[in-house]
């Protein structure tokens, strides 16, 4: 019997296009002898469109939008859209959604209510990992070393922008990075060297979220580690990102490929052991499951600083997460299968919890 896997992708998010690229790559990696692939596309407007079962790779992401031949459905399709021969619901759902309305715990909560196994992190880890302010607060509680940071909601900034800028300059200084708190893929991020750039960066970031975070800029190497597992997570080799531009922005990640990814990173055994220790500690601090990518800064003095954890790292050809595991000895198709197994194991464990007293 094939495993009926539903791929959810697209979504109402600024990272919609990233999600399509991820879906294309995952479809190519899935073994159709083992999996029956059922795609559901979520448009930018929030429409759910179910396509026919996929029997092979997709050449163009536009094909994944099912503008002709798709059937508009709703979230209930996740539990009722299979034929009786295929059983009533999918065996597992793989949410390939990045950013708000997908990676932030909203879809995960729906899947919990439907009691369907799903790949990746649960509601708490997804929502805490999406909000960079909450994430950093949890890291601070766990004793993980971080850069200095402050945050603002839009209404506070609108009421007194000068006060916000002054707080950044007094507590963080320049250079600094301004980011939407609830977004990934470097969307809406700006590097600031002065007050004028800071003011522009606030305007840019607040287009994508009601909350922004401002982080201290440090001169450091960017090192990333993949984490895989549930209660007993394992770490991949470390990889280094060497952007040719000022920082690892959206185009570097998904468009121009103008960034060197060095795997494994040239670090000492002691440095790797500390990175792995911190990655697992961060994974557990957020109560992660399935997968995560932990991002660090390593200064020339040897200080190791955690930057963030991505609870749904991309699977595009330029993405670090699958490359890290490939260099660790886990090929892409095997990585997908391990994630599905972890999802089913977690779901099975939850079924043993009693709900009466």
Categorize the per-residue pLDDT at 197 as very low, low, confident or very high, splitting at 50, 70 and 90. very high
Question: How far apart are alpha carbons 7 and 49 in whole angstroms?
Answer: 12
Report for 91-105, 237-251, 278-292: range of highest mean pLDDT = 278-292
Fold of 148-216: Dna Ligase; domain 1 (3.30.1490)
Question: How far apart are alpha carbons 232 and 14 in whole angstroms?
Answer: 33
Q: What is the pLDDT of residues 60-104, one digit of tens each?
A: 999 999 988 889 998 878 876 555 455 557 999 999 998 888 889
pLDDT of residue 86: 52
Question: How far apart are alpha carbons 348 and 357 in whole angstroms?
Answer: 21
pLDDT of residue 254: 46
Question: How far apart are alpha carbons 13 and 17 in whole angstroms?
Answer: 9
Residue 298 has pLDDT above 60, yes or no: yes
> What percentage of the chain exceeds 70 in pLDDT?
92
Which CATH class, in words, describes the domain spanning 3-118? alpha beta
Mean pLDDT in the chain? 91
Please provide residue 316's backbone torsions phi and psi, each rounded to the nearest 5 degrees: -75, 170
pLDDT of residue 243: 81
Question: Which helix (H) or strand (E) is 48 found in, with range?
Answer: strand 48-50
Residue ranges per domain, the chain?
A: 3-118, 148-216, 220-349
CB count within 10 Å of CB 102 equals 26
Question: Which helix (H) or strand (E) is 254 found in, with range?
Answer: helix 250-254
Strand pairing category for 92-96 and 3-10: parallel
Task: Give pTM, 2 decimals.
Answer: 0.89
Question: How far apart are alpha carbons 303 and 76 in whole angstroms?
Answer: 49
Mean pLDDT for the stretch of residues 110-125: 95
Please provide residue 329's backbone torsions phi and psi, each rounded to the nearest 5 degrees: 110, 10
> Using H for helix, E for strand and C for coil, what is the string for 157-224?
HHHCHHHHHHHHHHHCCCCEEEEECCCCCCCCCEEECCHHHHHHHHHHHCCCCCEEEEEECCCCEEEE
Cβ pair 256, 112 in contact under 8 A: no
The CATH superfamily holding the domain 220-349 is ATP-grasp fold, B domain (3.30.470.20)
Q: What is the pLDDT of residues 136-166, one digit of tens each?
A: 999 999 999 999 999 999 999 999 999 999 9
């Amino acid at each position: 019997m094939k495993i009926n896997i539903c791929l959810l992708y697209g979504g109402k998010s600024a990272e919609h296009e990233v999600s399509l690229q991820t879906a294309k790559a995952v479809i190519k990696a899935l073994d159709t002898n083992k999996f029956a692939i059922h795609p559901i596309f979520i448009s930018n407007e929030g429409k759910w469109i179910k396509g026919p079962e996929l029997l092979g790779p997709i050449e163009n992401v536009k094909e994944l939008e099912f503008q002709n031949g798709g059937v508009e459905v709703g979230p209930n399709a996740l539990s009722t859209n299979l034929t009786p021969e295929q059983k009533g619901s999918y065996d597992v759902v793989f949410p390939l959604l990045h950013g708000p309305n997908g990676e932030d715990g909203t879809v995960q909560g729906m899947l919990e209510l439907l009691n369907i196994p799903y790949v990746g992190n649960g509601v708490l880890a997804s929502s805490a990992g999406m909000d960079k302010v909450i994430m950093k607060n949890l890291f601070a509680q766990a004793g993980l070393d971080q850069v200095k940071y402050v945050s603002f909601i839009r209404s506070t900034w609108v009421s007194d922008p000068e006060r916000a800028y002054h707080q950044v300059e007094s507590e963080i200084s320049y250079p600094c990075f301004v980011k939407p708190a609830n977004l990934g893929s470097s969307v809406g991020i700006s590097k600031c060297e002065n007050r004028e750039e800071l003011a522009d960066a606030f305007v840019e970031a607040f287009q994508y979220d009601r909350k922004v975070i401002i982080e201290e800029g440090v001169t450091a190497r960017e090192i990333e580690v993949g984490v895989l597992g549930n209660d007993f997570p394992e770490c991949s080799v470390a990889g280094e990102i060497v952007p040719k531009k000022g920082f690892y922005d959206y185009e570097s990640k998904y468009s121009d490929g103008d960034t060197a990814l060095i795997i494994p990173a040239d670090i000492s055994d002691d440095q790797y052991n500390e990175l792995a220790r911190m990655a697992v500690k961060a994974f557990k601090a957020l109560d992660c499951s399935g997968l995560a990518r932990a991002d660090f800064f390593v200064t020339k003095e040897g200080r190791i600083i955690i930057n963030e954890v991505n609870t749904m790292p991309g699977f595009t050809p330029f993405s670090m997460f699958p490359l890290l595991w490939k260099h660790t000895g886990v090929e892409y198709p095997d990585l997908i299968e391990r994630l599905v197994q972890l999802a089913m194991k977690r779901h099975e464990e939850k079924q043993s919890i009693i709900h009466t007293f």
